Amino acid sequence: MSSENGKRLLETDAGGLNFEATELTLGLPGEPRVTSDGGAKLGSKRGFSETVDLKLGDNNREVKLGHSLQEAAKSPVSKTQVVGWPPVRGFAKRGKKSCKYVKVAVDGAPYLRKVDLEIYNSYQQLLTSLEDMFSCFTIRNYLNEKKIEQVNGIEYMPTYEDKDGDWMLVGDVPWQMFVESCKRLRLMKSSEAVGLGLTTGPKYSSTN
């Protein structure tokens, strides 16, 4: 194909598709594009979902994300935001002593995800990663102590099943103990969690 054809390709109207709006960047919307080291490295998947008009979830999505993105930027080191990047095979267990894969289910969603608890250092990192993975659901995040305004969205509470088969609220025990005892995660609708007596806030903050 000659470059002339290529040029014509660019100039034809794509039926109103605004490529810039869907262009993926690594920063918050409105911030300059981050291309090399430095600054908050944020998953482009997050940037992408912000430009898409989601009917699910709440209108305060940007505000909520803004808060948790800032939280993620402050938390040390671990890069867990971009799903499937770098492309290392999950269950290859390379270079790590152990690997703790647990399934994550979300009430009302027809799919499961798996996360490796070993790659996180704190509840905050885990929850940030879950928010990214299930970006259309509003996950109640006690730990940053900001009241998440619930407009249209349904609130979910992160719970887990421990070694004894009991369902607990994520954040109830020290992080390391949680990693050891967690068998699976479930993002439960808040309305259901009330029935199970899981409404009290967790005792352990993200600093543990």
Partner 1 sequence: MHKKMAFSFPDEVLEHVFSFIQSDKDRNAVSMVCKSWYEIERWCRRKVFVGNCYAVSPRMVIRRFPEFRSIELKGKPHFADFNLVPDGWGGYVFPWIAEMAGAYPWLEEIRLKRMVVTDESLELIAKSFKNFKVLVLSSCEGFSTDGLAAIAASCKNLKELDLRDCEVDDLSAHWLSHFPETYTSLVSLNISCLGSDEASFSALERLVRRCTNLKTLRLNRAVPLDKIANILRHAPQLVEFGTGTYTADVRPDVYSDLAGVLSSCKELKSLSGFWDVIPDYLPAIYPVCSKLTSLNLSYATIQSPDLIKLVSHCPNLQRLLVLDYIEDSGLEVLASSCKDLQELRVFPSDPFGAEPNVSLTEQGLVAVSLGCPKLQSVLYFCRRMSNEALVTIARSRPNFTRFRLCIIEPKTADYLTLEPLDVGFGAIVQYCKDLRRLSLSGLLTDRVFEYIGTYAKKLEMLSVAFAGDSDLGLHHVLSGCESLRKLEIRDCPFGDKALLANAAKLETMRSLWISSCAVSFAACKLLGQKMPRLNVEVIDERGPPDSRPENCPVDKLYIYRSIAGPRFDMPPFVWTMDEDSGLRLS
What angle do the packed helices 123-133 and 61-74 form, to 10 degrees? 140
Q: Please, what sign has the CA dihedral across residues 157, 170, 159, 83?
A: positive
Nearer to partner 1, 48 or 204 (CB): 48
Sorted by sequence, the CB contacts under 8 Å of residue 179 that are 6+ apart come out as 100, 117, 118
Amino acid (1-letter code) at residue 171 = G
**The only residue of 30, 87, 165, 195 in contact with partner 1, by rule CB under 8 A:** 87
The pair phi, psi for residue 81, each rounded to 5°, is -75, -35
User: Counting contacts by CB under 8 A, is residue 32 touching partner 1?
Assistant: no
Does 147 sit near partner 1 (CB under 8 A)? Answer: no
- Cβ proximity to partner 1, 91 vs 165, nearer residue: 91
Residue 3 CA to residue 175 CA, distance in Å, equals 57
Q: Which is nearer to partner 1, 12 or 207 (CB)?
A: 12
Which residues are at the interface with partner 1 (CB under 8 A)? 1, 6, 9-10, 12, 14-17, 19, 22-24, 26, 35-37, 41, 44-45, 48, 52-56, 77-80, 82-95, 97-98, 103, 109-114, 119, 134, 136
